């Protein structure tokens, strides 16, 4: 039997998980674990490069783990862990720091965007963020990395670092590829020009939002945006995108088709579309809320999952790190 390809991806624990994150990342992770050798982690160290509060961070790490599990990631199928629990990530990043040209890092879009956003906190971690990400990926010799468009530059950086390493110390790391299947981009409910994001509180529906909150958020969704004649306004298109994802599966049904037809013949009532979509979201995420309630009660089980995941990841990471140590000329103790 041929060896399964390796998939690695991380999500920063920096706020509530929303339906955009779910469609753009988590939902795909859950599918991938059936087919690949998967490493999914909570990128807590990366998230320290942004402004944050320590107490909130601790909770966000646990909440992200709960979101992973509630969405269907299974510790029996995937290696699920917290980045900071596996020290080799930082250790390998240091070696990579010595190989990475500063000017390559300075041209990264995310670095420029974040520096503009947090002018008073342009820390070195923001600059070397892609170096740690390269370590996350190469420690497990990933073949594919499921990420959104915004992360493509960081994958290219990973490949640059791998090449530099190979040129200097001999062929060792192989190229990684982005895994992007039908990348969906869900837009903000309040400003459909921007993407749905946890940094804009009104913009998103959380995967654990209570029914009443979902109804309220959807009722406020913006539909009256300008669009060139003949084109669907962005806010409306966004609601249709969500309908397509959440309205009918798995039972089937024709909610999407019904509203699509009404849109075309001009009889559509957006209040009805919004309330039907709200009910679909409530139904779709009901099992997520139930699993979260169970998981929140069982802190011991969560600790055990974190610990076992870290041990599994550590074993693989340590093997790579030892081999790197040898190659770069350090003395293993
Ligand atoms: P946020 O903007 O909410 O802080 P992140 O930048 O932390 O989200 O992204 C976490 C993951 O979710 C990434 O894989 C990203 O591609 C995906 N993602 C974030 N927002 C959206 C969105 N609006 N639509 C689709 N995918 C998204
Ligand atoms: N930078 C990614 C993001 O913001 C998170 C991340 C950290 C990641 N390390 C990674 C993603 C390694 C894929 C692989 O979404």
What is the average per-residue pLDDT within 162-183? 94
Q: Whose CA is nearest to atom 6 of ligand 2?
A: 10
Sequence-ordered list of residues with C-beta below 8 angstroms from that of 86, at least 6 positions apart, any chain: 41, 139, 310, 313, 314, 317
List active site positions.
Answer: 114, 195, 198
Distance 42 CA to ligand 1 centre (A): 14
DSSP state of 206: B
Complete domains list, the chain, with CATH? 6-184+298-328 (3.40.50.620), 211-293 (no CATH)
Please determine, for residue 107, whether its predicted confidence score (pLDDT) is greater than 80: yes
Contact (Cβ atoms closer than 8 angstroms) between residue 20 and residue 196: yes
- Mean pLDDT score of the chain: 94
Please determine, for residue 225, whether its predicted confidence score (pLDDT) is greater than 70: no
Q: What kind and span of H or E run contains 177?
A: strand 177-179
Q: Whose CA is nearest to atom 9 of ligand 2?
A: 133
pLDDT tens column, 54-87: 999 999 999 999 999 999 999 999 999 999 999 9
Binding-site residue set for ATP: 12-14, 20-21, 148-150, 186, 195-199
3-class SS of residue 199: coil
Query: Does the Cβ of 254 fall within 6 Å of ligand 1?
Result: no
């Amino acid at each position: 039997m041929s060896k399964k390809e390796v998939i690695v991806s991380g999500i920063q624990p920096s706020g509530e998980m929303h339906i955009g994150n779910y469609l753009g990342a988590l939902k795909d992770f859950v599918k991938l674990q059936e087919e690949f050798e998967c490493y999914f982690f909570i990128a807590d160290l990366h998230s320290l490069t942004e402004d944050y509060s320590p107490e909130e961070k601790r909770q966000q790490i646990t909440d992200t783990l709960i979101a992973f599990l509630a969405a269907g990631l299974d510790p029996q199928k995937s290696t699920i862990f917290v980045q900071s629990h596996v020290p080799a990530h930082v250790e390998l990043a240091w070696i990579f720091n010595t190989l990475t040209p500063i000017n390559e890092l300075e041209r990264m879009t995310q670095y420029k965007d974040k520096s503009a956003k947090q002018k008073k906190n342009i820390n070195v971690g923001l600059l070397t963020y892609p170096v740690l990400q390269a370590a996350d990926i190469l420690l497990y010799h990933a073949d594919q990395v499921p990420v959104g468009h915004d992360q493509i530059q960081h994958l290219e950086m990973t490949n640059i670092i791998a090449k530099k390493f190979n040129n200097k110390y001999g062929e060792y790391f192989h190229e990684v590829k982005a895994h992007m299947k039908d990348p969906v981009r869900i837009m903000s409910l309040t400003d459909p020009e921007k993407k749905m994001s946890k940094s804009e509180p009104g913009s998103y529906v959380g995967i654990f939002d209570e029914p009443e909150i979902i109804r309220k958020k959807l009722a406020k969704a913006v539909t009256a945006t300008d669009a060139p004649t003949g084109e669907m306004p962005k806010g409306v298109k966004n609601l249709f995108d969500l309908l397509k994802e959440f309205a009918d599966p798995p039972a089937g049904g024709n909610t999407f088709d019904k509203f699509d037809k009404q849109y075309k013949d001009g009889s559509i009532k957006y209040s009805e579309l919004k309330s039907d979509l709200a009910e679909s979201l409530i139904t779709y995420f009901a099992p997520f809320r139930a699993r979260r309630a169970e998981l929140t009660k069982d802190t011991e089980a969560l600790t055990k999952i974190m610990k076992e995941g870290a041990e599994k990841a550590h074993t693989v990471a340590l093997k790579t790190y030892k081999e790197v140590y040898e190659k770069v000329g350090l003395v293993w103790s």
